[in-house]
């Protein structure tokens, strides 16, 4: 299907992989006409590979439409991938490939993988009380005893910084930040191991955003959670992540530890993104390097390296051949033909 | 500094309230500021603090049940065109009268917060810009199209001739934002109000738009009122900053003072609470406790007092501090620095 070779992931004997995604593809057909004939594909996720270790946060960044949400939804099997593997290590038993499981086979794994959404307004049912919202997953998973459920809901509410006395209230009675806490409480009800958070603080006010980020960090420590944290805000991603993956037009172009990625980016796109972030200090002038042009459509990506039409370092090979995603220094993966020779500017 | 020049716009004790069935929302409740020619005047504040309503009042486009209930909006008019640089109070003009219509879109242009609101979906962007140009300048249709084309070139829209004949929804987010800027600038405004011009676009497009605005301000010496809740954007763009909270000004001053010597507890807390690409990862951020109160439940006294760590009990919760000059160039409304309260 593609000419991109499989990446070689190194073996880390000490850290445990919780999730390993290999060559994930998700194409959406573009149909036209009376017979709904497929005339092309939106390559929303186009050969993506990464892993998440137990207890860590992997940040997934990239500009609008690059495929972050589609990747997240594939992992939770809200979408069925076109191809690829998604290896998940459950609490007990053998590693399974989430891409291959049936609905039936997925059911016992669902509680272990939960999602936190961007929109704290839209993602909560306005007709359910706090008790029902947080208690529903418990009920569905067999906690029939109401008293037991009430106790567990109270415990989770306290955990996320909400008062158990509010249990009988409806979502509209809460502020944006409180609603996001409710969403987090619901996601945590079943003791998940993997939490996929899709832009969880993007809709929040600046002063409330910090409260939620702190909460997520604290919960991770206390409950040994593993996060896949999706966002477009680089400052937020830097704040919360141990490692970061950068996506561009359906592909991951670079993955590294947070430190390495921000201090010494190896991909010209990553460097351009970092340079574009306005730093909240008037004494530091940012945004001087301009990235020209626009993000191409995933329905019609460019030849060779998808970034070549905008890349200031592109040479002939970039236009014709897709670069291989490879480990250039230990734990630092990049797909750029010139990654070895380029000296790119990071953030000190 | 700009304080030597005469201000282009002086807003004095502006109040704009919304009279709802449930009660009165005092969206803007006594705001005073000056904007000087050539200045980039930044307004920051969290959602609902009254940034957009302040600007809608200046442009006299506050929608009912909203009303300007107090204050002056003094605009110093350009010389020429029968005007000799006199000062008029926009608050006294008829909102849809001839004078206000010639000022709106002419001397003062707006880049609105909702990018889709800027263009009608049933006319091409070119037709709409041409119409705007012909409304404010006595030129032929053909000459207006030439101006529009030049504007599209100036803001860096590729194949501008073709783009003029497209509809707003056919343009990508970045191109649409450029077209909006082109339209706003087509009548050579002396004051451009940019209300969150980059919130809807990605960071690389944002960098392009910010560069464009900065360049236009330098080339034309227009003043820009730049509204955002992004402290990074404000630090990079503004020369002077006003911080708002719940319809009031908490602090204002030159950008360097605001970021390096903030005085108001709200400004201080806000700056501490933002993660930055320069800060250390995975450490707890200092937060502001609680959340922004609902506009119907505005606290008595200083609007920030329920969340303030430094509150003076019996004072901050009872009386509202006025905006006063404290440091050399900074103005702060906080009882930690002075005793002057808002006259009731
Ligand atoms: N159901 C769908 N059918 C067709 N195309 C889709 C569908 N869902 C997503 N896409 C397309 O796939 C691409 C990736 O979308 P996705 O929502 O994953 O991006 P994202 O990185 O999450 O963007 P954002 O930052 O805007 O949330 C986009 O071009 C989008 O238009
Ligand atoms: N048409 C309206 N009717 C009633 N209340 C309104 C109306 N427009 C604005 N308000 C209220 O006025 C207050 C100030 O709103 P404004 O739009 O100025 O906020 P803002 O600072 O621009 O926020 P944001 O960052 O979200 O754009 C808010 O409480 C808002 O709910
Ligand atoms: S492969 Fe070429 S075009 Fe792509 S990022 Fe590297 S230098 Fe630029
Ligand atoms: Mg998304
Ligand atoms: Mg606004």
Fold assignment, A17-241? Rossmann fold (3.40.50)
Q: Do residues A98 and A110 lie in contact, with contact meaning Cβ atoms separated by under 8 Å?
A: no
In angstroms, what is the span from residue A295 Cα to ligand 1's centroid?
Answer: 13
pLDDT at B135 > cutoff 90: no
In angstroms, what is the span from residue A321 Cα to ligand 3's centroid?
Answer: 10
How confident is the model over B6-44, as pLDDT tens digits? 899 999 999 999 999 888 999 999 999 999 999 999 999
Q: Is residue B64 part of a domain?
A: yes
The alpha carbon torsion through A227, A228, A232, A233 (nearest 10 deg) reads 20
Rounded CA gap, B162 and B316, in Å? Answer: 59
Structure tokens at B111: 């880049």
Ligand nearest to the CA of A71: 1
Q: Report percent pLDDT > 70 for chain B.
A: 97
Q: Is residue B269 part of a domain?
A: no
Rounded CA gap, B57 and A86, in Å? Answer: 54
> A113-116 and A332-334 as β-strands: parallel, antiparallel, unpaired?
unpaired
Rounded CA gap, B106 and B110, in Å? Answer: 10
Q: Is residue B202 part of a domain?
A: yes
Q: From the CB of residue B170, how many other CB atoms can be counted at a distance below 10 Å? A: 12
Q: Is residue B268 part of a domain?
A: no
Cα B10 to its chain centre, rounded Å, is 14
Strand partners, A85: A22
How confident is the model over B258-274, as pLDDT tens digits? 999 999 999 999 999 88
Helices and strands (H and E) in chain A: how many: 10, 12
Strand partners, A196: A115, A228
Task: Specify the pLDDT at position B185.
Answer: 87
Q: Do residues A131 and A153 lie in contact, with contact meaning Cβ atoms separated by under 8 Å?
A: yes
Confidence band of A2 (pLDDT split at 50, 70, 90): very low
Q: Is residue B250 part of a domain?
A: no
Distance from CA of B40 to the nearest CA of A (A): 13
Instruction: State in Å, rounded, how far the first CA of chain A is from the last one.
Output: 40
pLDDT at A8 > cutoff 60: no
Distance from CA of A101 to the nearest CA of B (A): 35
Phi/psi of residue A162, nearest 5 degrees: -115, 150
Sequence-distant (≥ 6) Cβ neighbours of residue B59 within 8 angstroms: B104, B108, B110, B193
pTM of the model: 0.88
Structure tokens at B115: 């990018």
Rounded CA gap, B310 and B319, in Å? Answer: 15
Closest Cα to atom 25 of ligand 1:
A64
Task: Specify the pLDDT at position A348.
Answer: 67
**Is there a contact between B275 and A286 if contact means CB atoms under 8 Å apart?**
no
pLDDT at A5 > cutoff 80: no
Mean pLDDT over A3-24 rounds to: 67
Rounded CA gap, A300 and B338, in Å? Answer: 62
How many domains are contained in chain B? 1
Rounded CA gap, A315 and A156, in Å? Answer: 55
In angstroms, what is the span from residue B25 Cα to ligand 2's centroid?
Answer: 9
Distance from CA of A158 to the nearest CA of B (A): 16
Instruction: State in Å, rounded, how far the first CA of chain B is from the last one.
Output: 33
Q: Is residue B148 part of a domain?
A: yes
Range of the domain at B132: 9-245
Ligand nearest to the CA of B203: 1
Q: What CATH code is carried by the domain that includes residue B163?
A: 3.40.50.300
Q: Is residue B30 part of a domain?
A: yes
Give the helix/strand (H/E) hosting A346: none
Q: Do residues B132 and B187 lie in contact, with contact meaning Cβ atoms separated by under 8 Å?
A: yes
**Is there a contact between A282 and B203 if contact means CB atoms under 8 Å apart?**
no
User: What are the extents of the domains in chain A?
Assistant: 17-241, 246-334
Residues of chain A found within 8 Å of residue B205, distances taken between Cβ atoms: 294
CA-to-CA dists, residue B79 to B11, B82, B93, B132, B238, angstroms: 21, 8, 19, 22, 27
pLDDT at A293 > cutoff 90: no
**Is there a contact between B291 and A177 if contact means CB atoms under 8 Å apart?**
yes
Q: Do residues B341 and B316 lie in contact, with contact meaning Cβ atoms separated by under 8 Å?
A: no
Tokens 């809709």, located at residue? A203
Rounded CA gap, A179 and A161, in Å? Answer: 11
Sequence-distant (≥ 6) Cβ neighbours of residue A229 within 8 angstroms: A57, A58, A59, A60, A197, A200, A216, A237, A240, A241
Phi/psi of residue A202, nearest 5 degrees: -65, -30
Helices and strands (H and E) in chain B: how many: 11, 14
Confidence band of A275 (pLDDT split at 50, 70, 90): very high
Rounded CA gap, B179 and B118, in Å? Answer: 10
Identify residues whose C-beta is under 5 A from ligand 4, the ion: A 69
Cα B245 to its chain centre, rounded Å, is 14
Report the SS3 class of residue A129.
coil
Q: Is residue B322 part of a domain?
A: no
């Amino acid at each position: 299907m593609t000419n991109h070779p499989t990446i070689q992931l190194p073996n880390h004997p000490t850290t445990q992989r919780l999730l390993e995604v290999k060559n994930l593809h998700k194409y959406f057909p573009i149909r036209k006409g009376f017979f709904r004939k497929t005339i092309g594909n939106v390559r929303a996720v186009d050969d993506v590979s990464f892993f998440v270790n137990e207890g860590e946060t992997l940040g997934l960044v990239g500009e609008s439409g690059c495929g972050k949400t589609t990747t997240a939804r594939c992992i939770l099997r809200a979408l069925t991938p076109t191809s690829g593997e998604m290896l998940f290590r459950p609490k007990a038993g053998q590693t399974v490939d989430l891409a291959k499981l049936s609905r039936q086979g997925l059911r016992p794994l669902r509680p272990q993988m939960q999602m936190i959404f961007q929109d704290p307004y839209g993602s909560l049912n306005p007709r359910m009380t706090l008790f029902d919202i947080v208690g529903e997953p418990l009920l569905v998973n067999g906690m029939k005893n109401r008293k037991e459920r009430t106790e567990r809901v109270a415990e989770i509410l306290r955990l996320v910084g909400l008062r158990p006395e509010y249990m009988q209230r409806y979502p509209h009675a809460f502020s944006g930040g409180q609603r996001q806490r409710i969403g987090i409480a619901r996601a945590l009800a079943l003791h998940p191991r993997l939490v996929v958070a899709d832009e969880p603080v993007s809709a929040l006010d600046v002063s409330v955003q910090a409260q939620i980020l702190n909460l997520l960090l604290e919960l991770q420590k206390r409950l040994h959670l593993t996060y896949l944290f999706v966002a477009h805000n680089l400052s937020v991603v830097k704040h919360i992540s141990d490692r970061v993956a950068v996506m561009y037009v359906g592909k991951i172009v670079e993955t590294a530890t947070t430190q390495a990625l921000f201090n010494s980016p190896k991909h010209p796109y990553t460097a351009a993104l970092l340079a574009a972030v306005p730093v909240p200090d008037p004494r530091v002038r940012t945004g001087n390097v301009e990235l020209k042009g626009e993000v191409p459509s995933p329905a019609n990506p460019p030849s060779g390296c998808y970034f070549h039409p905008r890349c200031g370092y592109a040479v002939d090979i970039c236009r014709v051949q897709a670069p291989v995603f490879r480990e250039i220094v230990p734990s630092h993966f990049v797909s750029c033909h010139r990654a070895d020779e380029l000296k790119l500017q990071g953030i000190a | 500094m700009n304080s030597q020049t005469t201000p282009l716009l002086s807003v004095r004790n502006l109040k704009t309230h919304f009279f709802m069935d449930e009660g009165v929302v005092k969206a803007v409740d006594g705001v005073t500021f000056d904007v000087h020619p050539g200045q980039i005047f930044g307004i920051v504040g969290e959602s609902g603090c009254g940034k957009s309503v302040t600007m809608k009042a200046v442009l006299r486009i506050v929608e009912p049940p909203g009303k300007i209930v107090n204050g002056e909006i003094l605009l110093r008019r350009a010389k020429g065109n029968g005007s000799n640089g006199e000062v008029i109070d926009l608050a006294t003009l008829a909102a849809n009268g001839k004078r206000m219509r010639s000022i709106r879109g002419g001397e003062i242009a707006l880049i609105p917060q909702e990018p889709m609101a800027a263009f009608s979906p049933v006319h091409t962007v070119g037709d709409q810009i041409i119409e705007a140009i012909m409304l404010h300048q006595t030129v032929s249709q053909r000459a207006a199209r030439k101006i529009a084309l030049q504007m599209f070139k100036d803001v860096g829209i590729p194949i501008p001739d073709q783009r003029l004949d497209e509809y707003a929804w056919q343009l990508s987010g970045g191109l649409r934002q450029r077209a909006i800027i082109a339209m706003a600038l087509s009548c050579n405004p002396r004051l451009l109000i940019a209300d969150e011009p980059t919130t809807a676009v990605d960071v690389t497009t944002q960098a392009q738009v910010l560069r464009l605005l900065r360049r236009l301000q330098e080339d034309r010496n227009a003043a820009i009122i730049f509204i955002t809740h992004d402290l990074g954007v404000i630090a990079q763009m503004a020369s002077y900053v006003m911080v708002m909270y719940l319809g009031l000004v908490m602090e204002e001053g030159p950008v360097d003072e605001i970021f390096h010597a903030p005085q108001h507890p709200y400004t201080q807390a806000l700056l501490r609470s933002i993660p930055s690409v320069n800060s250390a990862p995975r450490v707890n951020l200092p937060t502001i406790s609680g959340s922004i109160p609902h506009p119907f439940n505005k606290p008595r006294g200083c609007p920030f007092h329920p969340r303030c760590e430094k509150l003076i009990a019996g004072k901050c919760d009872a009386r509202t501090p006025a905006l006063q000059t404290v440091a050399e160039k900074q103005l702060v409304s906080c009882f930690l620095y002075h005793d002057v309260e808002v006259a009731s």
